[in-house]
Amino acid sequence: MGRSSSRSRRQHHCHQGCCFVAGDSHFAAAAAHFEASLKLQPSAEAYRGLAVIRSSAHNYSAAISAYTAALDLALSPTDPDPAGAALLVRNLAAEYAQFCTLTWNFDALVRLVADSRLPPASRAEDRFRMGEAHAAFYTKDYDRLFRLLDCAPERQWPTLGYDLSALMGMYQSAVVDAATDAKGSALTVLERNAAIRAHPVPVCLRAVGH
């Protein structure tokens, strides 16, 4: 009876925290509910809620800690619903990767991408793949970046708008950086243009809406 009551209260606090709309004036109340839920029993959902709140408050180190805790719990599910657990892992990994990319927390992003516990389905989500590309660019792993951005059928990029522009810019910058590293000094304008012409942006990145 006591265990059931504790679980109900934990779920109640977690649901109450989720009722607050991001961007409104009630983040403190929402955070209090999530923290109360975590005191009763840690859960990926409550940590995820805290991560969103900490990110909105620009407390990125706290958001990273909360996302890490959420993903650790999601990857060790006690939920009897395996499909639901897999969906939570996929969404969390994508959300965390996008957070790291948008806030330039690339060290955390590199750790996330290197996490061998993540299943292939999680790595197939577009926001996670964007994170993988940014991690490869950040670590100057240009060979990996070029593989991630090629036009193989299994690696098509349906993302539109700004994200495609970012990928195209990243590809071109990587081409110039790789050529600079190979030369060992700064490129001349002619050398830079020659490198770009020799390694054009893949058509799958240029064909918006493919």
In a domain, residue 76? The reply is no
Q: Cβ atoms within 10 A of the Cβ of 97, count?
A: 28
Q: Domain span at residue 192?
A: 141-210
What was the pLDDT predicted at 28?
A: 79
With CA atoms as reference, report the closest residue to 71 among 50, 54, 53, 88: 88
pTM of the model: 0.81
In a domain, residue 190? The reply is yes
In a domain, residue 194? The reply is yes
Domain count for the chain? 1
What was the pLDDT predicted at 85?
A: 87
In a domain, residue 159? The reply is yes
What was the pLDDT predicted at 9?
A: 46
Does pLDDT of 146 surpass 50? yes
In a domain, residue 167? The reply is yes
Higher pLDDT: 54 or 80? It is 54
In a domain, residue 164? The reply is yes
Contact 122, 128 (CB under 8 A): yes
pLDDT tens string 122-134: 998 889 999 999 9
Does pLDDT of 45 surpass 50? yes
In a domain, residue 175? The reply is yes
State the Cα torsion 146-148-154-160 to the nearest 10°: -100
Q: Compute the average pLDDT of residues 161-185.
A: 89
In a domain, residue 23? The reply is no
